[in-house]
């Protein structure tokens, strides 16, 4: 019975029990004890030829003694019931407290058994949910540290190899070697700034200075900024903007997201290819679809590319960055209540990355983008 598991119902029942005991004790003592004493006393009053009014005193005395006995019985009952109830309630509370202390000490696998009382069961469930969250965060943190260590190892080993080679006289300290060392150093530098950005985006600690801008215009200006790089590689860049797309965003951050998507499209599209940027409205969302005629993605990689440090490996794939770009980009899109999705018909068929952001509500006047 669900009602019986509620704490308020159980507390009410325990008070009702004490009230019943009081009532019972009063009934018994008044009927048995008081009436017996009254009978005895009234007889002795009659024998001694007592005066008028004495029978009244006899009645009050016997009632008093009955009340004292009833009081003792009710206090006893209250003591027993309250001890039992408190033990029942405090046991799970103590278990929750012990569990939270163990959690605080880093035992994230700690879980509390759900007690019978509904309200306490909810508390236990909340504590368990907290434990799961802490465990996940801790596991992610540990994984991140090992991934970072792994990412740093390759450039550091390369630099160490060159430096030791030069010290041992295997390499001349010529320009070629120094350029190679310089490249690895900038890789480490890029990794450091990507990591700082990643941890900020994962903590949700990026301050967003939002205002209403037109997403289509923002995409067009961002594309224009990157156009020289497209021209240099010989990749055609086309931008198609449609109806106005007012979105309430931090324009710098969304420009950063778009730069990442355009940059990836350029990196993974060979010379002579084509990248198209289309701004559109899809119900209450503004979308920017970046499609390229590049190397494409396999179905398994469509979701994985958003994972930290994930890079698709293959003999013909150009070397990209550290595999954090899309993780940060998606984090930023989600911080704006939007998202990024990837689609591709398969390797070699090009891919489409779509940024979705909610359209700003009409009470906000549209800005200039």
Q: Does 323 bind ligand ADP (CB under 6 A)?
A: yes
Token pair, residue 211, equals 């205002």
CA–CA dist 346, 297 (Å, integer): 5
Nearer to ligand ADP, 119 or 276 (CB): 276
Q: How near is the Cβ of 268 to ligand ADP at its closest, in Å? A: 4
Residue of 70, 237, 257, 297 that binds ligand ADP (CB under 6 A): 297
Q: Does 320 bind ligand ADP (CB under 6 A)?
A: yes
DSSP conformation letters of 180-208: HHHHHHHHHHHHHHHHHHHHHHHHT-PPP
Q: How near is the Cβ of 305 to ligand ADP at its closest, in Å? A: 4
User: Segment contacting ligand ADP (CB under 6 A): 101-109, 127-135, 233-241, 322-330?
Assistant: 322-330
Residue 53: burial class (beta carbons within 10 Å; 0-12, 13-18, 19+): exposed
The runs of H, that is alpha helices, within the chain are 7-28, 35-47, 54-104, 118-167, 175-203, 215-233, 251-267, 301-304, 325-335
Q: Does 354 bind ligand ADP (CB under 6 A)?
A: no
Q: How near is the Cβ of 290 to ligand ADP at its closest, in Å? A: 7
User: Segment contacting ligand ADP (CB under 6 A): 1-9, 174-182, 280-288, 308-316?
Assistant: 308-316
Nearer to ligand ADP, 38 or 262 (CB): 262
Nearer to ligand ADP, 103 or 297 (CB): 297
CA angle, 201 then 343 then 283, to 5°: 80
Contact 162, 185 (CB under 8 A): no
Nearer to ligand ADP, 70 or 324 (CB): 324
Token pair, residue 320, equals 């990209």
Residue 351 Rama label (left phi>0; alpha psi -120 to 50; beta)? beta
x/- string (CB under 6 A) for ligand ADP, residues 257-296? -------xx--x-----------------------x-xx-
Q: How near is the Cβ of 206 to ligand ADP at its closest, in Å? A: 17
User: Which has the closest alpha carbon to 369: 206, 222, 260?
Assistant: 222
CA–CA dist 85, 10 (Å, integer): 9
Q: How near is the Cβ of 182 to ligand ADP at its closest, in Å? A: 20
Nearer to ligand ADP, 5 or 233 (CB): 233
Site for ligand ADP in 327-346 (CB under 6 A): 327
Nearer to ligand ADP, 111 or 311 (CB): 311
Length of the chain counted residue by residue: 369
CA 360 to the chain's CA centroid: 26
Nearer to ligand ADP, 285 or 327 (CB): 327
> Please, what's the b/e burial string for 323-335 (b: 16 or more CB within 10 A of its CB; e: otherwise)?
bbbbbbbbbbbeb
CA angle, 158 then 164 then 165, to 5°: 85
Count of residues that interact with ligand ADP, criterion CB under 6 A: 20
Q: How near is the Cβ of 267 to ligand ADP at its closest, in Å? A: 6
Q: What are phi and psi of 275, to 5 degrees?
A: -120, 130
Q: How near is the Cβ of 200 to ligand ADP at its closest, in Å? A: 16
Nearer to ligand ADP, 230 or 268 (CB): 268
Contacts with ligand ADP, residue ranges (CB under 6 A): 264-265, 268, 292, 294-295, 297, 305, 310-312, 320-327, 351
């Amino acid at each position: 019975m669900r009602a019986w598991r509620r704490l308020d119902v159980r507390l009410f029942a325990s008070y009702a029990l004490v009230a019943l005991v009081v009532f019972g004790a009063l009934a018994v003592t008044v009927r048995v004890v008081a009436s017996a004493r009254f009978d005895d006393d009234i007889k002795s009053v009659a024998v001694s030829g007592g005066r008028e009014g004495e029978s009244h005193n006899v009645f009050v005395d016997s009632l008093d003694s009955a009340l004292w006995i009833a009081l003792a019985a009710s206090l006893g009952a209250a003591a027993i019931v309250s001890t039992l109830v408190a033990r029942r309630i405090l046991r799970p509370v103590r278990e929750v407290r012990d569990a939270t202390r163990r959690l605080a000490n880093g035992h994230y696998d700690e879980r509390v058994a759900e007690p019978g009382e509904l309200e306490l069961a909810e508390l236990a469930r909340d504590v368990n949910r907290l434990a799961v969250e802490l465990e996940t965060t801790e596991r992610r943190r540990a994984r991140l540290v090992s991934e970072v260590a792994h990412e740093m190892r390759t450039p550091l080993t390369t630099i160490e190899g060159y430096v030791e080679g030069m010290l041992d006289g295997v390499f001349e300290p010529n320009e070629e070697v120094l350029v190679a060392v310089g490249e690895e150093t900038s890789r480490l530098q890029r990794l450091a700034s990507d990591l700082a950005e990643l941890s900020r985006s994962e903590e949700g600690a990026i301050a967003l200075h939002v205002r209403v801008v037109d997403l289509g215009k923002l995409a067009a200006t961002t594309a224009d900024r990157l156009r020289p790089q497209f021209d240099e590689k010989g990749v055609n860049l086309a931008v198609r903007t449609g109806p106005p797309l007012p979105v309430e965003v931090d324009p710098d951050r969304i420009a950063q997201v778009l730069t990442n998507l355009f940059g990836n499209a350029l990196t993974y599209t060979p010379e002579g290819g084509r990248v198209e940027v289309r701004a559109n409205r899809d119900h209450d969302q503004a979308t920017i679809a970046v499609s390229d005629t590049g190397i494409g993605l396999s179905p398994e990689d469509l979701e994985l590319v958003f994972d930290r440090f994930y890079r698709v490996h293959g003999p013909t794939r150009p070397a990209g960055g550290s595999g954090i770009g899309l993780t940060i980009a998606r984090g930023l899109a989600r911080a704006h209540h939007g998202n990024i999705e990837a689609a591709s018909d398969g390797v070699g068929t090009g891919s489409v990355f779509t940024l979705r952001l909610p359209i700003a509500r009409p009470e906000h006047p549209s800005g200039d983008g």
